[in-house]
Structure 1
Amino acid sequence: MRGTCPRVSLGRVRGRVHRRVTGRWKFVGRLVGRTDVELRHELFSVRGRSISWLFPLALLAVIAVIDVTTGAFQVISWTVLVPGIAAAICGVWTTAGLGVLAVCVYLLADLVWQDHNHTGLPGLVLVLLGSVIAVVASSVRVRGEERMLHMRDIADTTRRTVLRPIPQGWGGLDHAAVYLAADTEARVGGDFYDIQLGPHGTRVLIGDVQGKGLGAVETASALLGTFRETGYYEADLLTVAERLDQRLLRHRQHTQGLGYSGGDGDRFATAVLVGFSDDLPDAVDAVVFGHEPPLVVGPKGVRRLESEAGLPLGMADIAPSVLPPVCRVTLARDETLLLMTDGVTEARDPEGRFYQPAEDIVRALAVDPDGVVAPQRLVALVRDGTLRHCRGLLVDDTTIFAVRRVVK
Structure 2
Amino acid sequence: MAVVAVLDLTSGPGVGLLPLVSLGPAFAGLTGGWRRTAVIGVVAVVLCLGLSVFDGLFGTRRGFTALLSVAGVTAAGLVAAVLRQRREAELASVRSIAEVAQRVLLRPVPRSAGRLRVAVSYTSAVAEARIGGDLYEVVTSPQGVRVIVGDVQGKGLEAVETAAVVVGAFREAAYDEPDLKAVGERLERALERHLTRERFVTAVLAQAGDGAHITLLNFGHPAPLILPEHGEVRYLEPPGRALPLGLGMHETSGPKPYEVPFTPGDQVLFYTDGVTEARAPSGGFYPLEQRVGSLADRAPDATLAAVRRDLMEHVEGPLQDDAAMLLLRYRNG
TM-score (norm 2): 0.88
Per the alignment, residue 313 of structure 1 pairs with: 245
Whichever residue aligns with residue 160 of structure 1, its letter is R
Q: Deviations over 1:245-264 (max 9, x none)?
A: 23222323xxx4xxxxxxxx
Return closer, same or farther for 1:126/1:196 CA change in 2, 3 Å cut-off.
same
Q: Deviations over 1:71-106 (max 9, x none)?
A: 485534322112211222211211222222222222
Whichever residue aligns with residue 95 of structure 1, its letter is T
Q: Deviations over 1:178-231 (max 9, x none)?
A: 222223445422211000011111101110111223332222222212211221
Which of 42, 59, 63 is 2:4 aligned to?
63
Per the alignment, residue 270 of structure 1 pairs with: 202
Whichever residue aligns with residue 377 of structure 1, its letter is A
Per the alignment, residue 273 of structure 2 pairs with: 342
Say whether 1:188 aligns with 2:131.
yes
Return closer, same or farther for 1:67/1:172 CA change in 2, 3 Å cut-off.
farther
Per the alignment, residue 315 of structure 2 pairs with: 390
Say whether 1:106 aligns with 2:106.
no
Say whether 1:399 aligns with 2:330.
no
Q: CA deviation at 1:286?
A: 0.8
Per the alignment, residue 293 of structure 1 pairs with: 223
Q: CA deviation at 1:306?
A: 4.3
Per the alignment, residue 297 of structure 2 pairs with: 370
Q: CA deviation at 1:329?
A: 0.6
Contact 1:169 1:406 in 2 (8 A): no
Shifted more, 225-234 versus 62-71: the winner is 62-71
Q: Deviations over 1:101-157 (max 9, x none)?
A: 222222233335x58999622211111111111111111122122222222222222
Whichever residue aligns with residue 340 of structure 1, its letter is Y
1 CA distance for matches of 2:41 and 2:310? 46
Per the alignment, residue 190 of structure 2 pairs with: 247
Q: Which residues of structure 2 form unaligned runs of 5+?
A: none
Q: CA deviation at 1:349?
A: 2.5
Per the alignment, residue 4 of structure 1 pairs with: none
Per the alignment, residue 101 of structure 2 pairs with: 158
Q: CA deviation at 1:276?
A: 1.0
Secondary structure, in 3 states, of the residue corresponding to 1:317?
helix
Q: Deviations over 1:372-391 (max 9, x none)?
A: xx221222223223333333
Per the alignment, residue 89 of structure 1 pairs with: 31
Q: CA deviation at 1:284?
A: 0.8
1 CA distance for matches of 2:51 and 2:150? 66
Whichever residue aligns with residue 317 of structure 1, its letter is M
> For the pair shown, which has the larger CA radius of gyration, 1 or 2?
2
Per the alignment, residue 200 of structure 1 pairs with: 143
Matches within 5 A, 1:163-174: 163-174=106-117
Contact 1:299 1:370 in 2 (8 A): no
2 CA distance for matches of 1:102 and 1:357? 59
Secondary structure, in 3 states, of the residue corresponding to 1:188?
coil
Whichever residue aligns with residue 81 of structure 1, its letter is L
Secondary structure, in 3 states, of the residue corresponding to 2:238?
coil
Say whether 1:75 aligns with 2:17.
yes
Whichever residue aligns with residue 272 of structure 2, its letter is T
Contact 1:292 1:342 in 2 (8 A): yes
Contact 1:357 1:385 in 2 (8 A): no
Say whether 1:216 aligns with 2:159.
yes
1 CA distance for matches of 2:124 and 2:226? 25
Q: CA deviation at 1:357?
A: 2.1
TM-score (norm 1): 0.73
Return closer, same or farther for 1:73/1:161 CA change in 2, 3 Å cut-off.
same
Return closer, same or farther for 1:225/1:107 CA change in 2, 3 Å cut-off.
same
Aligned residues: 328
Same amino acid, percent of matched pairs: 38
Per the alignment, residue 75 of structure 2 pairs with: 132
- If asked which structure has higher relative contact order (CA below 8 Å, sep 6+), I would say 1
Contact 1:169 1:175 in 2 (8 A): yes
2 CA distance for matches of 1:296 and 1:68? 74
1 CA distance for matches of 2:332 and 2:6? 66
Q: CA deviation at 1:239?
A: 1.7
Contact 2:110 2:138 in 1 (8 A): no
Return closer, same or farther for 1:115/1:214 CA change in 2, 3 Å cut-off.
closer
For the aligned residue pairs, the C-alpha RMSD in angstroms reads: 2.5
Contact 1:271 1:290 in 2 (8 A): yes
Secondary structure, in 3 states, of the residue corresponding to 2:148?
strand
1 CA distance for matches of 2:178 and 2:49? 83
Contact 1:166 1:195 in 2 (8 A): yes
2 CA distance for matches of 1:299 and 1:377? 17
Say whether 1:325 aligns with 2:252.
no
Return closer, same or farther for 1:125/1:163 CA change in 2, 3 Å cut-off.
same
Contact 2:152 2:162 in 1 (8 A): yes
